[in-house]
Amino acid sequence: MSDTPGFRPLYRQVYDILVRKIAEGVWKPGEMLPSEQMLAREMGVSHGTVRKVLDALTAENLLLRRQGKGTFVAEHNQGRALFRFFHIARPGGERLVPEAANVKIKSRSSRTTEATRLGLRNKDAVFEISRLRLIGGKPVIRETVILPQILFPRLDRIGELPNTLYSLYQSQFGITVAAAREELRAAAATREDQSSLGVTAGSPLLVVGRVALSLTGQPVEWRESRVRTDHLVYAVTLQ
């Protein structure tokens, strides 16, 4: 694919070129992009087209503009990742910062539903991360994360995993989570939920299933979070 626009709508071509460069690591997380004028000259398009694309990528949290300094590739630090992708809150929308505990990781073959969600062949190798999320020192979420080993080689040898996994994906494996598809459903607490979350049999839980997508739209993670609902809600702002 050329770095100069072809025959598709000009805005879309420039958008795709810049996203591809970020995905390929031409500009690393936290690195400043060339100026708008330079990008426009390199791609043979107008300054206005480049600015429009940069504005869109900034709105999508892929880029970060710093007044008087320039435009930078956004980094998945803990604060930014939690703000974008963690929607569990107290009633009224109070933002919460969870901690991770009882983190375990193992290698195994993918199951049919996991392979379907991640675009894998059945029985392809995956890593399974299980952990509890704590708020105020109390377990409130039981979480299972499934990752294709082909995308995250030797993940089990890294050692202690960070609280925000998306920062690890970006810094260690060059994979930026740009979007996610989530599905919500209600479920009754299982025996494992009772033991892990301290709830009674049959207590209502919120189950959040998420497929995380890379910059190129590739599924890179399947995550299921089982959430206590006695004092927590799923909160989003619609604009």
CATH number of 125's domain: 3.40.1410.10
Cα 59 from chain centroid (whole Å): 16
Determine what percent of the chain is predicted with pLDDT higher than 90. Answer: 67
The tally of domains found in the chain comes to: 2
Say if residue 28 is in the same domain as residue 127: no
Residue 112 lies in a domain: yes
Taking each helix axis from N to C terminus, what angle separates 47-59 and 10-23, rounded to the nearest 10 degrees? 60
Q: Could you tell me if residue 113 is inside a domain?
A: yes
Strands 138-148 and 88-90: unpaired
Q: Output the pLDDT for position 52.
A: 93
140 domain residue, yes or no: yes
pLDDT cut 70: percent of the chain above it:
94
Residues 129 and 196 occupy one common structural domain: yes
Same domain, 207 and 132: yes
The answer to whether residues 188 and 229 belong to one domain is yes
Asked whether the beta carbons of 132 and 142 are under 8 A apart, the reply is yes
Paired residues of 72 in beta bridges: 32, 64
User: Which of 47, 73, 99 is at the close of a domain?
Assistant: 73
| 144 is a domain residue | yes
pLDDT at 4 over 70: no
> Does 3 reside within a domain?
no
Those residues whose C-beta lies under 8 Å from the C-beta of residue 17, and which sit 6 or more positions away, are 1, 3, 5, 43
Whether 105 and 214 share a structural domain: yes
Express each pLDDT in 34-81 by its tens digit. 999 999 999 999 999 999 999 999 988 889 999 888 999 988 766 666
Q: Measured between alpha carbons, how far is 211 from 148 in angstroms, rounded to an integer?
A: 12
Distance of alpha carbon 213 from alpha carbon 156, whole angstroms: 21
Q: How many CA atoms lie within 13 A of 239 on its CB side?
A: 2
Please state, rounded to an integer, the average pLDDT across all residues of the chain: 91
The verdict on 186 and 219 lying in the same domain is yes
Asked if residue 84 lies in contact with residue 92, where contact means CB atoms within 8 angstroms, the answer is no
Q: Which domain holds residue 52?
A: 10-73
The pTM (predicted TM-score) of the whole model is: 0.82
Asked if residue 167 and residue 68 are part of one domain, the reply reads no
CATH number, residue 50: 1.10.10.10
- 29 membership: H or E segment, kind and range: none
For residue 228, being part of any structural domain is answered with yes
pLDDT band at 2 (very low <50, low <70, confident <90, very high): low
- Position 186 in a domain: yes
pLDDT of 75: 81
- What is the rounded CA–CA span in Å between residue 133 and residue 203? 18
Residue 79 is predicted with a pLDDT of 63
Q: Where are the beta strands (DSSP E) in 121-216?
A: 125-135, 138-148, 177-188, 204-214
Considering the domain architecture, whether residues 102 and 181 belong to the same structural domain is answered as yes
pLDDT, tens digit, 9 for 90 and up, residues 168-204 = 999 899 999 989 999 999 999 999 999 999 999 899 9
Taking the CB of residue 202, how many other CB atoms lie within 10 A of it? 10
Residue 164 lies in a domain: yes
Would you place residue 1 in the very low, low, confident or very high pLDDT band (cuts 50, 70, 90)? very low
CB atoms < 10 A from the CB of 44, how many? Answer: 10
Q: What integer pLDDT is reported at residue 206 of this predicted model?
A: 98
**Which of 73, 108, 128 lies at the terminal end of a domain, its last residue?**
73
Identify the DSSP state of 157. Answer: G
Whether residues 114 and 217 share a domain: the answer is yes
